Amino acid sequence: MSALSGLAKIRAALWQIEKDLGLEKLSHSERDVLYAFHAVAAPDRMAITPDRVQDADRVAGICNVEFAEALTRLTELGYLENTDGDAYRITDLPRPA
């Protein structure tokens, strides 16, 4: 098996997990922002400021407006919780509708 074949199988498995968790309903940008929050979050789920997340490689190509829209939608959907107007906390995954 080539490296790309192996990568394709891993990607297919990850996509299935995302579907099982309901993440396929999120846009690409929303998923990238959510993953970036998880990447920088401490295990105790302390509040994180968006500027800390915007420094992550995962969201480097997302413009500020698109980042803000994704942040708003992730908060509306319950993936993130606004703690004090400037910081966000990761929540447990919302239950699929």
| Interval 2-11: pLDDT, tens | 889 999 999 9
Contact (Cβ atoms closer than 8 angstroms) between residue 36 and residue 58: yes
- Minimal CA–CA distance to 31: which of 42, 44, 17, 45? 17
Q: What is the pLDDT of residue 96?
A: 57
What are the angstrom distances between the C-alpha of 66 and each of 3, 29, 70? 33, 7, 6
- pTM of the predicted structure, to 2 decimals: 0.83
User: Which pLDDT tens digit goes with each residue over 40-89?
Assistant: 887 777 888 898 888 877 788 899 999 999 999 999 999 999 987 789 99
Q: What is the pLDDT at residue 95? A: 61
pLDDT at 94 over 90: no
Please report the sign of the dihedral spanned by the C-alpha atoms of residue 24, residue 16, residue 92, residue 39.
negative
Query: For residues 26 and 32, what is the distance between their CA atoms, to the nearest angstrom?
Result: 10
